């Protein structure tokens, strides 16, 4: 039975992996654990200060880690960087520092939901007021639904669809900002014990949608995006599927492919049906085998996407705060929805009733904005 497109804007996985015997990055090798502790010790230094802008070279503009940045520096995050750096401690520290400065410079170090959202959480550490990416800044980029966070693949990874033929804006840095914005949101949508996303790139034509004269992404733009994904989002890509690739785009992909690391290449699939990776109940009817009836409505979808993302981020920050507000917490504990799912004894670190963390929030369940489960 298909879902009604007028009412459904998002689909949750039916079997989210909640009953878990072992968390991600829990049982490490002795070398991994030893090197992780070195990275943890470095970033736990209260005297650590980093720049606000890339290539600034001014120590006067260096700041310590904010609470949002400490939450970002989870055990899982540091392990992803460690593995991407082949367990080289010095290279991992260098890369993490670079990513923190890049996030500040790019405008996402405060999160992506805006200053008002942070203030409502009691957070007033706003870094780099000049460039802050938030929903109202990038909303116009998706009026045609050219990017879509929708459903989960067979490994319970949330899916980000990119529709090249629905492009509605000329090539600019704002397009890169919007892609990063969507990446940050989809990370919030990852269920417990999932830290990777699925990327579905569809090049089929959508007559009458977007710009009349569409241009294929430039090599420069594709290289910039590729560099950001590989350097600042290591180990985040679980799947990259490309569908109906036109000849010119195929040429561009061949030009950029040598710059893709071997690990990422293993995740890429060209010309295969999306149904090979996505279950019928999570796949829209636009694709073979899909049973979800969906039509993009910008205002309805955008409001639900942001409201649900805020709910998830609010839960993470409250868990972070109650568990000591320190770096190195697991993403499992940050995303846990009930006290029973927390692996740490929260009663030993909380000042308030544990149940206050899990108060009702807005959540989109199969597209409907409802109270959290």
| pLDDT beyond 90 at 82 | yes
CATH code, domain with 239: 3.40.525.10
Q: Are 371 and 360 in contact (CB under 8 A)?
A: yes
Which segments within 127-225 are labelled E, that is strand?
147-152, 158-163, 197-202
**What's the number of domains the chain is made of?**
1
In a domain, 179, yes or no: yes
pTM of the predicted structure, to 2 decimals: 0.84
Residue 159, in any domain of the structure: yes
Q: Which of 3, 7, 12, 9 is nearest to 372 (CA)?
A: 12
Q: Is the residue at 271 inside a domain?
A: yes
- Predicted confidence (pLDDT) per residue in 227-248, tens digit: 888 899 999 999 988 888 766 6
Q: Is residue 1 part of a domain?
A: no
Domain membership flag for residue 329: no
Assess if residue 321 is contained within a domain. no
How far is Cα 99 from Cα 92, in angstroms, rounded to an integer?
Answer: 10
Question: What residue numbers bound the domain in which 205 lies?
Answer: 139-299
Q: Is residue 115 part of a domain?
A: no
Q: What's the pLDDT score for residue 360?
A: 34
**262, part of any domain:** yes
Could you tell me the two tokens for 23?
Answer: 């968390």
Tokens representing 49 are 């200060």
pLDDT digits (tens, 9 = 90+) for 57-79: 666 578 999 999 999 999 999 99
- Nearest residue to 311 via CA among 189, 148, 182: 189
Mean pLDDT for the chain?
A: 80
């Amino acid at each position: 039975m298909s879902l009604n497109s007028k009412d459904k804007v998002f689909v949750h996985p039916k079997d989210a992996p909640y009953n878990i015997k072992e968390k991600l990055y829990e049982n490490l090798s002795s070398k991994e654990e030893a090197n992780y502790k070195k990275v943890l010790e470095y970033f736990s230094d209260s005297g650590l200060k980093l720049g606000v802008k890339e290539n600034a070279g001014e120590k006067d503009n260096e700041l310590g880690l904010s609470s949002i940045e400490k939450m970002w520096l989870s055990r899982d995050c540091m392990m992803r960087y460690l593995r991407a750096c082949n367990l080289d401690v010095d290279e991992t520290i260098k890369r993490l520092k670079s990513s923190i400065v890049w996030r500040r410079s790019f405008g996402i170090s405060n999160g992506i939901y805006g200053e008002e959202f942070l203030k409502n959480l009691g957070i007033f550490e706003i870094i780099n007021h000049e460039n802050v990416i938030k929903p109202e800044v990038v909303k116009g980029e998706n009026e045609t639904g050219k990017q879509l966070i929708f459903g989960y693949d067979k490994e319970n990874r949330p899916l980000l669809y990119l529709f090249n033929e629905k492009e509605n804006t000329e090539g600019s840095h704002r397009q890169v900002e919007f892609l990063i914005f969507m990446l940050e949101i989809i990370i919030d949508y990852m269920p417990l014990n999932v830290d990777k996303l699925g990327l579905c790139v569809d090049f089929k034509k959508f007559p009458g949608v977007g710009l009349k004269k569409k241009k294929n992404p430039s090599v420069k733009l594709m290289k910039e995006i590729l560099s950001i994904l590989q350097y600042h989002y290591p180990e985040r890509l679980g799947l990259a599927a490309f569908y109906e690739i036109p000849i010119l785009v195929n040429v561009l992909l061949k030009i950029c492919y040598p710059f893709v690391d071997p690990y990422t290449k293993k995740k890429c699939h060209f010309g295969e049906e999306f149904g090979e990776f996505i279950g019928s109940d999570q796949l829209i009817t636009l694709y073979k085998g899909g049973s979800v009836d969906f039509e993009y409505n910008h205002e309805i979808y955008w409001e639900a996407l942001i409201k649900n993302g805020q709910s998830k981020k609010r839960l993470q920050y409250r868990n972070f705060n109650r568990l000591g507000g320190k770096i190195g917490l697991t993403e499992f504990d940050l995303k846990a929805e009930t006290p029973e799912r927390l692996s740490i004894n929260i009663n030993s670190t909380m000042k308030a009733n544990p149940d206050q963390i899990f108060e009702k929030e807005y959540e989109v369940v199969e597209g409907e904005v409802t109270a959290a489960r």
